[in-house]
Chains A and B, each alone.
Chain A
Amino acid sequence: MKNIKYLLLGVIFGLALTKGEAVSWFRIQEMFHFESFHMYGIFMTAIPIAALSLLLIKKANLRSMDGETVIIPTKPYHHGIIFGSLIFGFGWALTGACPGPLYAQVGSGYVVILVTFISALFGTWTYAKFQRYFPD
């Protein structure tokens, strides 16, 4: 039951993504054509707010609800940062979705996106299976 709070947070996150049209295929095309500020506005408010919160957590030495020290993750470089990201970018423009929006699109009643989702699972599985052949 301790996971219910993450479900509720996910509902808020998913609702914000959906109502903000960040899961809209149309908005994604518009973004990649630089024809509106909308999506950039989302990124340009979300990132600084998240960054400021992290700074605050660090400065005030805030602890998580279980009393643990909050660990701010690091993202080390590997070649997948370039190759994997480019491939994901291709897929993002085709489907209009990143992984989060895939869940939201299916929830929004686009049942056919289940196919896209299963295909994404197969993509992840394929990477896992042949990982040793890709430069990392």
Chain B
Amino acid sequence: MEFLTKPWAWYVTGPIIGLTVPALLLLGNKKLGVSSTLRQICAATVPANISFLNYDWRKDKWNLFFVAGIFIGGYIGGVLFANPNPVAISPDTARLLHDQGIRDLSGLLPGELFNWKMLLSIKGFLLMVVGGFMVGFGTRYARGCTSGHGIMGLAALQWPSLLATICFFIGGIVISNFVLPIILSL
């Protein structure tokens, strides 16, 4: 049981993620890529005669099962066997976040920022609504996310995926270091 409540080291999680790639290929010639499920859900719910959404999304139904699994995995890991302790991030990051007003390091997200009340503030709106929009827009424009480009594409030695991953990081580094401090001070 302790194995399930304690957080897992990188050398446990990394190999499992890596092995997901051959597992999907061998199970049924499927390629790892989560962001395409966002397109699928759009195509299934509000296709609105948009050509980009007019395709046979049912053909990739397996991926909806896969992400339903991720949801369940999140429930098992984050609710049933939740880590009772605050996240063991580096003291430097903890200090920095503390200075930016984030005191509670328990759970997966700072509860002080990600809650229903904050949604109505500029801060919460930027983090959740604008942030989410950028995730959905950017990954579709890039035709892949951390899984499709960062894991699958890099493992298949695709140089455009390397470029994509570098750009993911450039974007993230800029926001995390220079923009987030401003947002958190609002």
Q: Which chain A residues have a beta carbon within 8 Å of chain B's beta carbons? A: 2-33, 35-51, 53-54, 56-57, 62, 64-66, 68, 70-78, 80-100, 102-110, 112-113, 115-129, 131, 134
Contacts and interface: CB of A to CB of B under 8 A. Distances in A.
Contacts of B177: 32-33
Interface string B97-113: 10000000101111000
B79 interface: yes
B1 interface: no
Given A119-B128, A119-B136, A19 B13 contact: yes
B18 A50 contact: yes
A55 to B, nearest CB: 9
Nearest to A34: B173
Given A90-B172, A107-B73, A25 B109 contact: yes
Contact of B156 (A8, A54, A94, A124): A54
Contact of A89 (B37, B92, B163, B167): B167
A17 B42 contact: no
A91 B27 contact: no
B154 to A, nearest CB: 5
Given A14-B74, A20-B13, 5 more contacts: A2-B28, A18-B78, A46-B13, A91-B137, A126-B136
A49 B152 CA distance: 11
A109 to B, nearest CB: 5
A85 B137 contact: no
Contacts of A17: 13, 17, 70, 73-74, 77
Given A92-B135, A122-B133, A123-B135, A108 B175 contact: no
B4 A19 contact: yes
Given A47-B154, A98-B146, A12 B73 contact: yes
20 contacts: A2-B28, A14-B76, A28-B172, A41-B14, A42-B13, A47-B155, A64-B27, A66-B28, A73-B153, A81-B163, A82-B167, A84-B143, A90-B131, A90-B171, A95-B128, A106-B71, A121-B38, A122-B133, A123-B134, A125-B42
